[in-house]
């Protein structure tokens, strides 16, 4: 009986940890950033792709990952569509700007 309980506890704990790890994955990847379309994507779509921004300033959203040396800036027009997007990777000296 004890082995059965231990098996259930171990299996349940493993499943819980797997779900937590998948749910905690950072959405800020270059692949997801590339899916954002200038003059088409909305703030809702950006949130679905990248998650909540680190902070917002006016019509600009900032995603910062100091541990990865990456900053992403998404600007929106008055209609709520992406007007500009920037990917800044300090480690690789990569800066993509749709301006």
**pTM of the full structure:** 0.75
pLDDT in tens, 37-60: 999 999 999 999 999 999 999 999
* The pairing of beta strand 70-76 with beta strand 60-65: antiparallel
Residue 97 has pLDDT above 60, yes or no: yes
Total domains, the chain:
1
The answer to whether residue 50 sits within a structural domain is: yes
Alpha helix positions (H), the chain: 2-23, 30-34, 43-50
> Tell me, what CATH number does 48's domain have?
3.30.1450
User: In the prediction, which pLDDT does 21 show?
Assistant: 46
The answer to whether residue 78 sits within a structural domain is: yes
Strands of 82-89's sheet in order across: 55-57, 60-65, 70-76, 82-89, 94-97
pLDDT in tens, 2-14: 566 655 555 556 6
Q: Is the separation of the CB atoms in 47 and 72 below 8 Å?
A: no
Domain range for 85: 27-97
Q: How far apart are the C-alpha atoms of 2 and 8, rounded to whole Å?
A: 10
């Amino acid at each position: 009986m004890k082995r059965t309980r231990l098996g259930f506890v171990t299996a349940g704990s493993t499943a819980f940890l797997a779900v937590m790890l998948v749910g905690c994955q950072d959405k800020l990847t270059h692949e997801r950033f590339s899916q954002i379309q200038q003059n088409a994507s909305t703030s809702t779509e950006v949130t679905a792709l990248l998650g909540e921004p680190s902070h917002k300033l006016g019509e600009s959203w900032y995603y910062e990952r100091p541990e990865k040396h990456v900053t992403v800036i998404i600007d929106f027009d008055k209609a709520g569509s992406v007007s500009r997007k920037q990917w800044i990777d300090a480690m690789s000296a990569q800066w993509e700007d749709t301006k």
